[in-house]
Structure formats: C-alpha cells, structure tokens
Amino acid sequence: MTLIDFLNRLLGREKPSGTLARERLQLVLAHDRSDLNPELLEQMRREILEVVQRYVEIDIEACDVSLETEDRVTALLANLPIRRARPVPLPRAETESESPPEDTTPPEDLTASEEMAEPVAPPQAADPAAVAEVGGGES
C-alpha cells in the first residue's frame, strides 16, 4: 500500500480492494449460479412489474429487482415501493393486440425502468460471462 492509497483510505475516498473484490464477486456469482442471462432477467423483471402494477400503483423509479446469493442459494429480491392500492385490479394484458389498461402509463414507465436495471443486468452484456467485466468497469 502506497502512502497515497493510505491517505485516500484514511479520508474515506477509496474502498479497500478486498471489499471491492467481495462486492463484485457476490454479483457475478449470483448471475453465474442462476444461469439467467441478462436479457431473460430483464424480461422477467418487466413481467413482474406488469403483474404487480395491475394490483397496486408502484413507484417505478424506485423499483429494484435483483439476484442475491447466500449459502449457495440464489434469491430473486424485488423491492417495489407501493404508492397506493387499486380498489379494482386492472384487467390482465394477455395479448399484445389488447390496448394497455387505462389509468396506468406502462409504456413510458417501463422504458424508464429499463435504465434502472443497469447495475444488475446491463443490456449490452450478451452472456453472463460478460457481466463480470461490465460490473468491473462500474465502480
């Protein structure tokens, strides 16, 4: 450790590399183990939000769906802040021909939520192996 590194650490400007290694590994292991590629994960995320939105109005901006792993068990964690419940559930949007249910604005909201997915599943990463590198560049 050089003096500059030490000072940066002391001033809280920089995390020790061991901590970074752990954080990056936890993310990449969750993806490796789930065997879901980022595209599928994104599709699942979108569908989950769609279903939840039929019953409650959620804060799309603050939604977070991600994979986490502990003790070799991978869990899908969704944090979906609810604005308010809908007194009557919206009809199911089964086919694409069906018009989107009124009173919600799913198209715009969903595109906005795609950006949200960045840290978990960068769309440009085609296979899980690529996630490591993308994740690495993040911090």
Partner 1 sequence: MTSATARTILICSGKGGVGKTTLTANLGIALARLGHPVAVLDADFGLRNLDLLLGLENRIVYTAQEVLSESCRLEQALVRHKQEPNLSLLPAGNPRMLEWLTPEDMQKIVAQLAERFDYVLIDAPAGVEQGFRNAAAAAREAIVVTNPEVSAVRDADRVIGLLHSMEISPVQLVLNRVRPQMMANQEMLSVDEITEMLALPLLGLVLEDQQVIVSTNRGEPLTLGDVASPAAKGYRNIARRLDGENVPLLDPSKERRGLRARLLNKLRQTTGLF
- Residues of this chain that bind partner 1 (CB under 8 A): 1, 16-19, 21-22, 24-26, 28-29, 32-33, 69, 71-72, 132
Position 83, amino acid: R
Between 13 and 72, CB nearer to partner 1: 72
Place of tokens 């977070």: 64
Question: Least separation, in Å, of the C-beta of 66 and partner 1?
Answer: 17
Shortest separation between residue 32's beta carbon and partner 1, angstroms: 6
* Cα–Cα dist 18/27, whole Å: 15
**Of 21 and 51, which CB lies nearer to partner 1 in the complex structure?**
21
Nearest distance in Å: CB 68, partner 1: 12
Residue 29 vs 76, nearer CB to partner 1? 29
Distance CA 14, CA 106 (A): 39
> Judged by CB, which is closer to partner 1: 17, or 111?
17
CB of 52 to partner 1, least distance (A): 31
Q: 23: alpha, beta or left, given left = phi > 0 and alpha = psi -120 to 50?
A: alpha
Looking at this protein, which amino acid is placed at residue 91? P
Q: For residues 77 and 69, what is the distance between their CA atoms, to the nearest angstrom?
A: 10
